[in-house]
Protein backbone atom coordinates (compact mmCIF):
# COMPACT_ATOMS: atom_id res chain seq x y z
CA UNK A 1 0.00 0.00 0.00
CA UNK A 2 1.10 3.58 -0.63
CA UNK A 3 1.58 5.93 2.29
CA UNK A 4 -0.93 8.77 2.39
CA UNK A 5 1.95 11.25 2.63
CA UNK A 6 3.04 10.19 -0.87
CA UNK A 7 -0.22 11.41 -2.39
CA UNK A 8 -0.06 14.89 -3.97
CA UNK A 9 -0.60 17.54 -1.30
CA UNK A 10 -3.40 19.22 -3.26
CA UNK A 11 -5.41 16.01 -3.17
CA UNK A 12 -5.08 15.72 0.58
CA UNK A 13 -6.13 19.34 1.13
CA UNK A 14 -9.04 19.49 -1.32
CA UNK A 15 -12.48 19.98 0.24
CA UNK A 16 -14.33 18.83 -2.84
CA UNK A 17 -16.32 15.61 -2.58
CA UNK A 18 -14.88 12.64 -4.43
CA UNK A 19 -16.73 10.41 -6.89
CA UNK A 20 -15.92 7.59 -9.31
CA UNK A 21 -17.07 7.68 -12.95
CA UNK A 22 -16.75 4.57 -15.12
CA UNK A 23 -17.34 4.98 -18.87
CA UNK A 24 -18.61 2.41 -21.42
CA UNK A 25 -17.49 -0.82 -19.76
CA UNK A 26 -19.85 -2.88 -21.89
CA UNK A 27 -19.68 -6.09 -23.89
CA UNK A 28 -19.27 -4.59 -27.33
CA UNK A 29 -18.82 -6.81 -30.40
CA UNK A 30 -16.97 -6.00 -33.61
CA UNK A 31 -18.18 -7.33 -37.02
CA UNK A 32 -16.27 -10.54 -36.36
CA UNK A 33 -18.11 -11.08 -33.09
CA UNK A 34 -15.07 -10.28 -30.93
CA UNK A 35 -14.71 -7.71 -28.18
CA UNK A 36 -12.80 -4.55 -29.21
CA UNK A 37 -11.55 -3.97 -25.65
CA UNK A 38 -7.80 -4.07 -25.15
CA UNK A 39 -5.67 -3.45 -22.07
CA UNK A 40 -2.05 -2.34 -22.20
CA UNK A 41 -0.92 -3.66 -18.81
CA UNK A 42 -1.85 -7.33 -19.10
CA UNK A 43 -5.01 -9.13 -20.14
CA UNK A 44 -8.44 -7.50 -20.32
CA UNK A 45 -9.58 -9.59 -17.30
CA UNK A 46 -6.56 -8.22 -15.39
CA UNK A 47 -7.70 -4.68 -16.14
CA UNK A 48 -11.31 -5.40 -15.21
CA UNK A 49 -10.13 -6.90 -11.92
CA UNK A 50 -8.12 -3.74 -11.11
CA UNK A 51 -11.12 -1.55 -11.92
CA UNK A 52 -13.38 -3.74 -9.79
CA UNK A 53 -11.04 -3.40 -6.82
CA UNK A 54 -11.28 0.39 -7.04
CA UNK A 55 -15.07 0.17 -7.40
CA UNK A 56 -15.25 -2.10 -4.35
CA UNK A 57 -13.10 0.34 -2.37
CA UNK A 58 -15.37 3.24 -3.36
CA UNK A 59 -18.43 1.26 -2.36
CA UNK A 60 -17.00 0.22 1.02
CA UNK A 61 -16.14 3.85 1.77
CA UNK A 62 -19.52 5.20 0.62
CA UNK A 63 -18.06 7.12 -2.31
CA UNK A 64 -20.66 7.75 -5.06
CA UNK A 65 -20.29 6.01 -8.41
CA UNK A 66 -21.68 6.97 -11.80
CA UNK A 67 -21.77 4.30 -14.50
CA UNK A 68 -21.94 5.78 -18.00
CA UNK A 69 -23.05 3.50 -20.81
CA UNK A 70 -23.42 3.81 -24.55
CA UNK A 71 -27.17 3.79 -25.09
CA UNK A 72 -28.72 0.76 -26.71
CA UNK A 73 -31.98 2.67 -27.21
CA UNK A 74 -32.91 6.39 -27.29
CA UNK A 75 -32.02 8.21 -24.09
CA UNK A 76 -34.97 9.26 -21.94
CA UNK A 77 -33.94 11.02 -18.74
CA UNK A 78 -37.14 9.80 -17.05
CA UNK A 79 -35.99 6.21 -17.47
CA UNK A 80 -32.71 6.59 -15.59
CA UNK A 81 -34.12 5.93 -12.12
CA UNK A 82 -35.76 2.65 -13.16
CA UNK A 83 -32.77 1.76 -15.33
CA UNK A 84 -30.54 1.83 -12.24
CA UNK A 85 -32.55 -0.98 -10.66
CA UNK A 86 -32.05 -3.39 -13.55
CA UNK A 87 -29.13 -5.32 -14.98
CA UNK A 88 -27.74 -2.89 -17.54
CA UNK A 89 -27.86 -4.37 -21.05
CA UNK A 90 -24.33 -5.18 -22.15
CA UNK A 91 -22.57 -4.04 -18.98
CA UNK A 92 -19.62 -6.29 -18.16
CA UNK A 93 -20.87 -8.78 -15.57
CA UNK A 94 -17.99 -8.21 -13.13
CA UNK A 95 -18.73 -4.48 -13.08
CA UNK A 96 -22.42 -5.04 -12.42
CA UNK A 97 -21.59 -7.52 -9.65
CA UNK A 98 -19.79 -4.68 -7.86
CA UNK A 99 -22.28 -1.85 -8.39
CA UNK A 100 -25.68 -3.55 -8.56
CA UNK A 101 -27.82 -2.52 -5.60
CA UNK A 102 -25.37 0.13 -4.36
CA UNK A 103 -27.49 3.07 -3.20
CA UNK A 104 -24.83 5.67 -4.02
CA UNK A 105 -24.66 4.58 -7.67
CA UNK A 106 -26.33 6.19 -10.66
CA UNK A 107 -26.40 5.10 -14.30
CA UNK A 108 -26.60 7.47 -17.25
CA UNK A 109 -26.64 6.72 -20.96
CA UNK A 110 -25.19 8.55 -23.92
CA UNK A 111 -25.28 8.37 -27.69
CA UNK A 112 -22.26 10.63 -28.26
CA UNK A 113 -18.70 10.38 -26.97
CA UNK A 114 -18.86 12.65 -23.91
CA UNK A 115 -20.92 11.63 -20.90
CA UNK A 116 -22.19 15.23 -20.83
CA UNK A 117 -24.06 14.63 -24.10
CA UNK A 118 -26.89 13.43 -21.85
CA UNK A 119 -27.92 16.12 -19.30
CA UNK A 120 -28.65 13.30 -16.85
CA UNK A 121 -24.90 12.99 -16.26
CA UNK A 122 -24.65 16.56 -14.98
CA UNK A 123 -27.78 15.91 -12.91
CA UNK A 124 -26.11 12.88 -11.32
CA UNK A 125 -22.94 14.83 -10.49
CA UNK A 126 -25.05 17.54 -8.87
CA UNK A 127 -27.29 15.13 -6.98
CA UNK A 128 -24.33 13.20 -5.55
CA UNK A 129 -22.39 16.37 -4.74
CA UNK A 130 -19.30 15.33 -6.70
CA UNK A 131 -16.57 17.93 -7.25
CA UNK A 132 -13.58 15.63 -7.85
CA UNK A 133 -13.82 12.74 -10.29
CA UNK A 134 -11.79 9.55 -10.48
CA UNK A 135 -12.29 8.63 -14.14
CA UNK A 136 -11.73 5.31 -15.88
CA UNK A 137 -13.14 2.99 -18.52
CA UNK A 138 -13.26 2.64 -22.31
CA UNK A 139 -12.09 4.13 -24.66
CA UNK A 140 -9.21 6.08 -23.17
CA UNK A 141 -8.62 7.89 -26.47
CA UNK A 142 -12.23 8.82 -27.30
CA UNK A 143 -15.13 8.68 -24.85
CA UNK A 144 -13.10 8.83 -21.63
CA UNK A 145 -10.93 11.60 -23.08
CA UNK A 146 -13.87 13.74 -24.22
CA UNK A 147 -15.58 13.26 -20.86
CA UNK A 148 -12.37 14.30 -19.07
CA UNK A 149 -12.08 17.44 -21.22
CA UNK A 150 -15.69 18.39 -20.49
CA UNK A 151 -15.25 17.76 -16.76
CA UNK A 152 -12.23 20.05 -16.68
CA UNK A 153 -14.04 22.66 -18.75
CA UNK A 154 -16.82 22.72 -16.17
CA UNK A 155 -14.40 23.18 -13.28
CA UNK A 156 -14.18 19.64 -11.93
CA UNK A 157 -10.93 18.14 -10.68
CA UNK A 158 -10.07 14.98 -12.64
CA UNK A 159 -7.99 12.09 -11.31
CA UNK A 160 -6.95 9.24 -13.60
CA UNK A 161 -4.90 6.07 -13.66
CA UNK A 162 -3.41 4.51 -16.77
CA UNK A 163 -4.27 1.11 -15.30
CA UNK A 164 -7.97 1.93 -15.22
CA UNK A 165 -8.03 2.77 -18.93
CA UNK A 166 -9.03 0.44 -21.74
CA UNK A 167 -8.32 1.04 -25.43
CA UNK A 168 -9.62 -0.26 -28.75
CA UNK A 169 -8.14 -3.43 -30.23
CA UNK A 170 -9.81 -2.83 -33.58
CA UNK A 171 -8.92 0.84 -34.20
CA UNK A 172 -5.42 2.22 -34.69
CA UNK A 173 -5.16 5.37 -32.56
CA UNK A 174 -1.35 5.52 -32.44
CA UNK A 175 -1.17 8.86 -34.29
CA UNK A 176 -3.58 10.32 -31.75
CA UNK A 177 -2.41 8.58 -28.58
CA UNK A 178 0.57 10.89 -27.96
CA UNK A 179 -1.71 13.93 -27.77
CA UNK A 180 -4.11 12.08 -25.49
CA UNK A 181 -1.32 10.82 -23.22
CA UNK A 182 0.06 14.34 -22.89
CA UNK A 183 -3.41 15.61 -22.01
CA UNK A 184 -3.76 13.12 -19.16
CA UNK A 185 -0.23 13.84 -17.90
CA UNK A 186 -0.61 17.61 -17.87
CA UNK A 187 -4.32 18.21 -17.24
CA UNK A 188 -5.27 15.45 -14.78
CA UNK A 189 -3.72 14.04 -11.62
CA UNK A 190 -2.41 10.57 -12.46
CA UNK A 191 -2.15 7.94 -9.72
CA UNK A 192 -1.65 4.21 -9.43
CA UNK A 193 -4.72 2.15 -8.45
CA UNK A 194 -3.28 1.59 -4.97
CA UNK A 195 -2.96 5.34 -4.52
CA UNK A 196 -6.55 5.82 -5.68
CA UNK A 197 -7.71 3.42 -2.99
CA UNK A 198 -5.65 5.28 -0.39
CA UNK A 199 -7.26 8.52 -1.52
CA UNK A 200 -10.74 6.98 -1.29
CA UNK A 201 -10.02 5.68 2.22
CA UNK A 202 -8.70 9.10 3.20
CA UNK A 203 -11.90 10.72 1.95
CA UNK A 204 -14.01 8.64 4.31
CA UNK A 205 -11.53 8.77 7.18
CA UNK A 206 -11.31 12.58 7.18
CA UNK A 207 -15.02 13.12 6.63
CA UNK A 208 -14.30 14.90 3.36
CA UNK A 209 -17.44 13.37 1.86
CA UNK A 210 -20.01 14.57 4.33
CA UNK A 211 -22.95 14.04 2.02
CA UNK A 212 -21.72 10.61 0.94
CA UNK A 213 -21.68 9.24 4.45
CA UNK A 214 -25.42 9.86 4.82
CA UNK A 215 -26.31 7.71 1.80
Is 60 exceeded by the pLDDT of residue 132?
yes
pLDDT at 35 over 90: no
Structural domains in the chain plus CATH codes = 15-123+133-139+157-208 (3.40.50.850)
Average pLDDT over residues 195-213: 72
Segment 94-117 mean pLDDT: 93
Integer Cα distance of 191 and 197 in angstroms = 10
Which residue, 103, 117, 108, is CA-closest to 146? 117
Find out whether 144 and 137 touch, Cβ atoms under 8 Å: yes
Listed in sequence order, the residues at least 6 apart from 84 whose beta carbon sits closer than 8 Å to its beta carbon are: 105, 106, 107
CB distance 91 to 173 below 8 Å = no
Query: What is the reported pTM?
Result: 0.84
pLDDT of residue 20: 98
Pure H helices in the chain: 9-13, 44-60, 80-84, 93-99, 119-128, 143-153, 174-187, 193-205
- Predicted confidence at residue 201, as pLDDT, reads 92
Tell me, what's the pLDDT at 178? Answer: 84
Residue 31 CA: distances (Å) to CA of 85, 158, 159, 168: 31, 34, 34, 14
Q: What digits encode the pLDDT tens for the residues 59-74?
A: 999 999 999 998 864 4
Amino acid sequence: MYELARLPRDLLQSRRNLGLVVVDMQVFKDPMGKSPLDYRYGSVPDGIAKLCRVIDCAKRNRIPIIIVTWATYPVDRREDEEYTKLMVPGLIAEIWAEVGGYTRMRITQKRQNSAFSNPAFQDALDELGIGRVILGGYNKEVCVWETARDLLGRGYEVITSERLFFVSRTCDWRAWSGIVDEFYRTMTVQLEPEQLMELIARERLMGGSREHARG
